[in-house]
A and B are shown apart, each in its own frame.
Chain A
């Protein structure tokens, strides 16, 4: 009985995931069809004859009915065959394989940085609530969440790249490494594992500044959320009892409050990471980071249906799986 209940749960989860992706796919496909941009222009340009335009239109399958196009696409997408990108001419799956590692590296760096900075700031702001530290951090985090990423990114380049030279210029690697490594997907971890320290250092010098920019924005959110979770806990009855027993505030915070906020904090961090994995178009544009955010924006601007749907499915799956994972872990911890 228990086994059946367990299986039921798995079947339900799979059904939820699959139906969510199908709905997502249909909505994106419909939005695409309403897009005011002609995808044929990416292939032909504006200066071609009607005959060539019509040939390309047919080759792209755009002469078929909306329903046929949608069903064809869903059928192919089921096999992870997203077709060819109109703007690059490559298989979309290969394009995603080449751009996604760049985003994963950047997002991972950014989330680690924002956690290491954001969580302590959040804890200290809660501990020093209403005091100078809390006020200063409020201003700093307000800047992070309200200032334009584009502006912060440029400012970062002016200070750390142009003025101090602490960071390398835009891009993932310096020119001497481009030819051999720019199409390799992941760079940092393989370089470290293969003891290629020159490459590793070069990649780190390129990634830290865009990651710091993303982390600054993300850190602001993380620290404010951590602060509010802790303050919420500090108002609970068990804290009053602990105080009555003579425990210090710092001990109450570290020993009792922190373990109690781990579920919402974990959920928030996972969702932040998933959001970072969607790519940050502005950061990727300023820092010439060949990631999925830039690729997807270019696809949208060219109405590259195959690429948009391919990216949507991959990112949708990541987001849905993250949610599913978080829910499962949280459910286990609650037990």
Chain B
């Protein structure tokens, strides 16, 4: 009688053990990467849905940028000009009721990855859908007060978008270039609609776009696989067959994997001083600023002279060269570099004498005690050291980013060291968040710090409705000047997107917004 174990035979066990041992100790692990497939390591555990109307985090926005297309987009030039995308041209026309109207003419030859044609009904459906779902994309479209009745199809390839107010066309176009306004395949999405959910259940794990790639698979917290879209407009230029994005949360692990050649691009390496062999670094400024938020509820911080003194106590350049090397550049305006209206001013430099004098004038010659909520402890300690020179005694309250933000949103902080990323490349986004005290902007950054200025709020409104860019630039210049003088914010840096790339990989494009990080130009030698 054959003697067996309950589940499998002893022979199988011996066979498996021998194979295992031989594999473990004899064979070497083989790098899988080849020329048509790219493997990238980053953190994708923030992605909870792949529905473009609901995505609210960085990797989700990057996914949209590679899988979907928008009506228009911003180009790579210094001026971040608006360029055609699904729309081949647009025209500003007179609005009967005094708002702004833009007529978009769509490209006629475009197809979704499903081979369905891209038409005006897809554009209208996508924007209506975003507004009806009332999630992240709707929040963005609220900046131009867009309602469903404002978006109409004139014919198969012409769409008209009206706004109730006379917003600046650049502002409207910049909002429409945001990844949240991605155009989805109406027919495909509606085929998969369940219980009038506008296909959001299905889109959570599937794609319906016309971008360079399509979603092949996504396992939350594990990996995402994108495959080349054979119906993409510029398909011949796309050299990769697939892009695998692996969730590797640990920086050191990413570094080991890229040094071994098992991944082609590492996105979150912290130690940038010593790069692995056969790799190089790529970094580009992104639309994100790091700043200190000063809550005006604190009696000392309520004084303008104290705030100005604190702005003079920080050596921005020194922090850039040491702690933030490669990861950020010194920056003091609420408007990121390259944005329309950024005036290039950096009025503050470390000046201890001036700071002490201002503090004395404000009645604080011996400084004061203050709490600082921060996630980046290294940076918080540097700030603590700078402030201590003028006897401002900072107590650091370390916390996870969400913990800091929770407290900050409730305005329970004294000083918070936080970041702010723009969702579209227009100065209005940051102006309305940093400065506006309009009731519709409740819970914005100005509100959290108890700062109100009706005069500046009116100016923001004026700037968003200015007909020409020249006027907008002038108004944002004035807003920045006032911001430097009175705002309860000390903007420290503009962040960089940093990636470590294998030397045989070229063409990886990093942009100001996550959706501008493009894989379609990547080539592997």
Contacts and interface: CB of A to CB of B under 8 A. Distances in A.
A193 B247 contact: no
A176 B32 contact: yes
Interface string A294-317: 110010011100000000000000
B219 to A, nearest CB: 5
A46 interface: yes
B8 A179 contact: no
Contacts of A205: 23-24, 29
Interface stretch (A47-55, A63-71, A74-82, A126-134): A47-55
Interface residues of A, number: 61
Interface stretch (A37-45, A240-248, A327-335): A37-45
A175 interface: yes
A41 B406 CA distance: 8
B19 A170 contact: no
Interface string B395-407: 0000110110111
B495 interface: no
Question: Which of B25, B259, B406, B440 has the most CB atoms of chain A within a 10 A radius of its CB?
Answer: B406
B19 to A, nearest CB: 6
B221 interface: yes
A208 B23 CA distance: 11
A50 B442 contact: yes
Interface stretch (B104-112, B134-142, B232-240, B500-508): B134-142
A50 B443 contact: yes
Interface in B14-56: 16, 19-20, 23-25, 28-29, 32, 37, 39, 45, 48-49, 56
Is the contact region of chain B dominated by helix, strand, or loop, or is it mixed? mixed
B46 to A, nearest CB: 8
Interface string A276-297: 0000000001111010001100
A193 B24 contact: no
B56 A44 contact: yes
B217 interface: yes
Contacts of B259: 162
B257 interface: yes
Contacts of A154: 252-253, 256
Interface residues of B, number: 61
Contacts of B260: 161-162, 169
A182 B222 contact: yes
A75 B349 CA distance: 60
Interface in A81-106: 87-90, 99
A285 B250 contact: yes
Question: Which of A46, A161, A208, A285 has the most CB atoms of chain B within a 10 A radius of its CB?
Answer: A46
A158 interface: yes
B225 interface: yes
Contact of A178 (B19, B223, B249, B400): B223
Contacts of A183: 219
B315 interface: no
B256 A157 contact: yes
B24 A288 contact: no
Contact of A37 (B20, B32, B45, B406): B406
Given A37-B403, A47-B423, A288-B253, A169 B29 contact: yes
Contacts of A44: 56, 135-136
Question: Which of B20, B25, B220 has the most CB atoms of chain A within a 10 A radius of its CB?
Answer: B220
A290 B222 contact: yes
A125 interface: no
B78 interface: no
B7 interface: yes
A285 B244 contact: no
B48 A43 contact: yes
Contact of A161 (B29, B32, B134, B402): B29
A287 B405 CA distance: 29
A45 B249 contact: no
28 contacts: A36-B403, A36-B406, A36-B407, A37-B402, A38-B406, A41-B405, A42-B402, A44-B56, A47-B56, A49-B139, A88-B48, A157-B253, A162-B256, A165-B28, A166-B25, A169-B260, A170-B248, A175-B32, A175-B246, A178-B219, A179-B216, A183-B219, A200-B16, A204-B20, A286-B250, A288-B222, A290-B221, A301-B402
